[in-house]
Amino acid sequence: MLRQASRTLSVSTGGAGLVEITDEVRGWADGQGMTTGLLTLFCRHTSASLLIQENAAPEVRGDIERFFARIAPEDPSAYAHDDVGPDDMPAHLRTALTQVQLSIPLVGGRLALGTWQGIYLFEHRRRPHRRDVVMHLLGE
Amino acid sequence: MLRQASRTLSVSTGGAGLVEITDEVRGWADGQGMTTGLLTLFCRHTSASLLIQENAAPEVRGDIERFFARIAPEDPSAYAHDDVGPDDMPAHLRTALTQVQLSIPLVGGRLALGTWQGIYLFEHRRRPHRRDVVMHLLGE
Amino acid sequence: MLRQASRTLSVSTGGAGLVEITDEVRGWADGQGMTTGLLTLFCRHTSASLLIQENAAPEVRGDIERFFARIAPEDPSAYAHDDVGPDDMPAHLRTALTQVQLSIPLVGGRLALGTWQGIYLFEHRRRPHRRDVVMHLLGE
């Protein structure tokens, strides 16, 4: 019988960069006792986003952070919006270039993540923040 | 009892930039009388996309438009595909860098959007267009 | 009565670029005999992604490939992570800039794709690979 479950995950970030949340997400999803379904993650912010990325080499996370800092640089002369700090508009652009939502099928009782895929909260502001990620699971 | 609803939203755009559709989407979703579920929006075009972004400072929208115009510039010498106008290939690239689909959980009778999140249709062509966004809600 | 179906599609790629999978995806979805629902595609890799793009002019695919090669170039001096080859880190960045997941509503017995929209597996590595795309359909 198809049913739904949902919960909000609160993630502490320590400045711009990737924070892995795979274990928390998988732990919650596994606990719902479903075999087949669809898990959706939704980040309720405009300066943080979600990313599925390599979970093996830690340098990948640094390279990703530096790439986005380069492609959407802090540069007050480039943006009209600057009242919340020089890292705010770049944070919105980095969010636009990535995603605030991810859905992952649940098949055979397991999330369909590949071997090298980890789920990350991508913080785009310089300072630590607390970010809410809504988890929603529909399945049976 | 889980059930589904769907409808197509037609959005008029006035040239490249962001058009907010939060009220239309929320109004339709609220009208389905569900408490928990998953709303999916799907943009049926390759020169327009969907974005969840800051709904407060209007300059953010202008900065986003200018950023994408810079990152995927109109430059006939850069692209092989140019028969539909110089703004067509950049429009496809801008679509590729953002999303044509967004899913938002419905929790406690409300879409899980954060306080500062608005839903936008992101038009990438210079001229006005009419864009179809399919809304699909699954819940109870 | 709402129900689910899932299957993994195996896609052979011949180096960096777009491989159309619309027919395989549509064929499988049509075969489930549902009228309304939500199809989700999930790419189980960190060096390949999914993209909905123009299915008419073939030059668009070449332009997209060249754009991403330019925006996330192979440049050993730019990345700390380089043990899997010079095209590996750019592949992760290209994946981050696009999506590993896509959901498409099924309405009136048909996927809600627009006339010009095709579904593509976007390979980011230089060499041929075999890529797994999980298809999940929930509907009735």
| pLDDT tens per residue, range B2-56 | 999 999 999 999 999 999 999 999 999 999 999 999 999 999 999 999 999 999 9
Measure in Å the smallest separation between the Cα of A109 and chain C Cα atoms: 13
Q: Which residues of B touch C116 (CB under 8 A)?
A: 45-46
Query: With 0-12 CB in 10 A as exposed, 13-18 as middle and 19+ as buried, what is B12?
Result: exposed
- pTM comes to 0.98
Question: What does the DSSP 8-state code read for residue C99?
Answer: B
Structure tokens at B69: 């115009």
A2 falls in which pLDDT band (50, 70, 90)? very high
Map tokens 């379904």 to a residue: A37
User: First-to-last CA distance in chain A?
Assistant: 6
A28: DSSP letter: H
pLDDT of residue A104: 98
What are the average pLDDT values for consecutive 10-residue runs of chain C, which has 140 residues? 97 97 98 98 98 94 97 93 91 98 98 98 97 98
Q: Which residues contact C30 (CB under 8 A, 6 or more apart)?
A: none
3-state secondary structure of A125: coil
Closest chain A residue by Cα to residue C84:
A57
Place of tokens 């590993």: C100
Q: Which residues contact B111 (CB under 8 A, 6 or more apart)?
A: B25, B26, B29, B39, B104, B105
Instruction: Write the CA distances from B133 to B83, B101, B108, C114, integer angstroms.
Output: 26, 9, 25, 10
Helix-strand-coil split of chain C, %, nearest 5: 25, 40, 30
Q: What's the confidence (pLDDT) of residue B51? A: 98
At residue B121, the 3 state secondary structure works out as strand
Quick: pLDDT tens for B117-136.
999 999 999 999 999 999 99
If DSSP codes are grouped into helix, strand and coil, which group holds residue A38?
Answer: strand
Asked if residue C11 lies in contact with residue C135, where contact means CB atoms within 8 angstroms, the answer is: no
Would you say the ipTM is above 0.90? yes
Region A6-26 average pLDDT: 98
Q: Which amino acid type is present at position A60?
A: V
Nearest neighbour of C96 by CB, restricted to A62, A98, A139: A98
Res. B84: pLDDT tops 90: no
Considering only the beta carbons, identify the residue of C42, C46, C79 that sits closest to A112: C42
Whether A81 has its CB under 8 Å from any CB of chain B: the answer is yes
Q: Would the CA dihedral through A93, A94, A98, A102 be positive or negative?
A: negative
HEC states along B22-62? HHHHHHHHHCCCCCCEEEEEEECCCCEEEEEEECCCHHHHH
3 state DSSP class of A31: coil
Q: Which of B57, B98, B115 sits opposite A81 (nearest CB)?
A: B57
- The closest CB to that of A44, out of B59, B63, B112, belongs to B112
Q: Counting Cβ atoms within 10 Å, is residue A19 exposed (0-12), middle (13-18) or buried (19+)?
A: middle
Choose from C22, C41, C54 for mutation: most chain B CBs within 10 A.
C54
Digit-coded pLDDT (tens) for B25-36: 999 999 999 999
Q: Do C100 and A36 touch (CB under 8 A)?
A: no
Whether C36 and B81 lie within 8 Å, measured CB to CB: no
Least-confidence region, from A51-60, A114-123, B38-47 = A51-60
Task: Provide the pLDDT confidence category of residue A76 given band limits of 50, 70 and 90.
Answer: confident
Letter string b/e over residues B71-109, b meaning 16 or more CB atoms within 10 A of that residue's CB: bbebeeebbebbebeebbbbbbbbbbbbbbbbbbbbbee
Q: What is the model's pLDDT at position C49?
A: 98
Q: How many CB pairs under 8 A join A and B?
A: 84
Strands, sheet with B17-20, edge to edge from the N-terminal-most edge strand:
B17-20, B117-123, B48-54
**Whether B6 and C105 lie within 8 Å, measured CB to CB:** yes
Percentage of chain A beyond pLDDT 70 is 100
Task: Determine, for residues A80 and B67 on separate chains, whether the beta-carbon distance falls below 8 Å.
Answer: no
DSSP state of A99: B
Secondary structure E strands in chain C: 3-14, 17-20, 37-43, 48-54, 101-107, 110-111, 117-123, 128-139
Which chains form contacts with chain B, at 3 or more CB pairs under 8 Å?
A: A, C
Q: Supply the mean pLDDT for chain A.
A: 96
